Amino acid sequence: MRISVLAIAAAIVAPVLALEHAVWIISDGFVPQSITIKAGDTVKWTNNDKYYTHTVTPIFPKPISPGMSLSFQFNTPSIVDYYCSIHPFMEGKVIVEKV
């Protein structure tokens, strides 16, 4: 009985459940380089580089120090290209799909 109540609750909540997706920043670039999410989801970038600061321009144009994380919630379906302004060869993409 208790399980079925939880199952119903999960079915109701699941369609609107926003997710958080992780993107790692390393010296070679963003991993994954391209990520597809749903509108309302959040992407969390973590600078996993031991030595260098990086940016996620234009979303976070200020330097992100090693070990630091920043999150951004994407609410509008769109394709967002971003790059590191310190190392412009580092490019990434967030594809935001309609829910």
Contact between 54 and 64 (Cβ < 8 Å): yes
Question: Using CB under 5 A, which of 23, 84, 94, 96 touches Cu ion?
Answer: 84
Q: Which three-class secondary structure state does DSSP give residue 42?
A: strand
How far apart are alpha carbons 48 and 43 in whole angstroms?
15
Please state the closest distance from residue 10 (CB atom) to Cu ion, in A: 40
Please state the closest distance from residue 54 (CB atom) to Cu ion, in A: 3
Stretch that binds Cu ion, among 16-24, 35-43, 51-59, 91-99 (CB under 5 A): 51-59
Contact between 30 and 64 (Cβ < 8 Å): no
Question: Using CB under 5 A, which of 7, 68, 86, 99 touches Cu ion?
Answer: 86
Check whether the bond before 32 is cis (ω within 30° of 0). Answer: yes
Stretch that binds Cu ion, among 3-11, 32-40, 65-73, 76-84 (CB under 5 A): 76-84
